């Protein structure tokens, strides 16, 4: 999980996978923050981030880490990295998040199968293994509530969260384009899989329901 630092101020970003993480990294670094506890991949969006902000990405520590990459670490691990002045997260509809994960995986597959078959196979694998293997797919299937601490402020992915974060943390919004957006394919889920998502992420739906602006 990334730690943003500026003038002794430490902010923890509880990065739930597939909730605009790269865009948030860029936003804070554009405003003069350094970031640590971050392992960027080899995809184009991550490489562009390294090229633009490389000097602001600090050395990571390898202690007290989980089985996921550092930026996808659940609360049970990142709480040991504190103390922090503030922590925040972005949460989104669990079904949309699952579909976004499938689209992201499809971007990097070398298979010739179509998106429909790929989605079916991903869903079958998730339903079979996700309950007993929480670190599967680098934490992309871990429930969102597992990333949040008791004092972590949650922002709703579908409600102008960039503007809200800028106001709360006194940041300038540079108007940057979203990073790491999956394009070109539109997977869909069967009724069976949608029901599985609703059961597995029931606590996440409760968390969303508690956010007044999630219902706007």
- Mean pLDDT value across the chain: 80
Residue 140 has a pLDDT of 85
* pLDDT tens figures, 149-190: 999 999 998 778 999 999 999 999 877 655 555 556 778 888
Mean pLDDT (whole number) for 115-135:
79
Residue 202 has a pLDDT of 94
Provide the CATH number for the domain around residue 100.
Answer: 3.40.50
Task: Provide the residue range defining the domain that includes 111.
Answer: 3-215
Q: Is the dihedral of CA 11, 12, 16, 22 positive or negative?
A: positive
Q: Comparing 34 with 55, which gets the higher pLDDT?
A: 34
| Position 195 pLDDT exceeds 80 | yes
In total, how many domains does the chain have? Answer: 1
Closest of 37, 28, 13 to residue 176, by C-alpha: 28
* pLDDT tens figures, 108-121: 776 677 888 888 88
Q: What is the DSSP letter of 132?
A: T
State the pLDDT confidence band at 215, using cuts at 50, 70 and 90: very low
* pTM of the complete model: 0.81
Q: What is the DSSP letter of 57?
A: B
């Amino acid at each position: 999980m990334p730690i943003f630092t500026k003038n002794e101020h430490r902010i923890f970003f509880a990065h739930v996978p597939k909730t605009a993480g790269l865009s948030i990294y860029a936003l804070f670094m554009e405003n003069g923050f350094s970031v640590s506890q971050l392992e960027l991949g080899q995809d184009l969006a991550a490489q562009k981030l390294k090229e633009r902000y490389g000097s602001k990405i600090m050395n990571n520590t390898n202690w007290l880490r989980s089985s996921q990459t550092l930026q996808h670490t659940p609360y049970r691990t990142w709480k040991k990295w504190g103390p922090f002045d503030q922590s925040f997260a972005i949460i989104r509809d669990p079904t949309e998040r699952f579909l976004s994960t499938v689209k992201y995986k499809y971007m990097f597959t070398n298979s010739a199968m179509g998106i429909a078959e790929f989605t079916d196979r991903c869903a079958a694998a998730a339903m079979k293994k996700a309950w007993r293997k929480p670190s599967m797919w680098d934490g992309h299937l871990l429930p969102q509530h597992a990333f949040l601490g008791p004092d972590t402020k949650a922002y709703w992915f579908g409600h102008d969260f960039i503007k809200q974060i800028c106001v709360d943390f006194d940041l300038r919004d540079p108007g940057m384009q979203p990073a790491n957006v999956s394009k070109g394919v539109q997977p869909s889920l069967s009724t069976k899989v949608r029901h599985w998502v609703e059961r597995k992420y029931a606590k996440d739906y409760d968390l969303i329901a508690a956010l007044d602006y999630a219902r706007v």
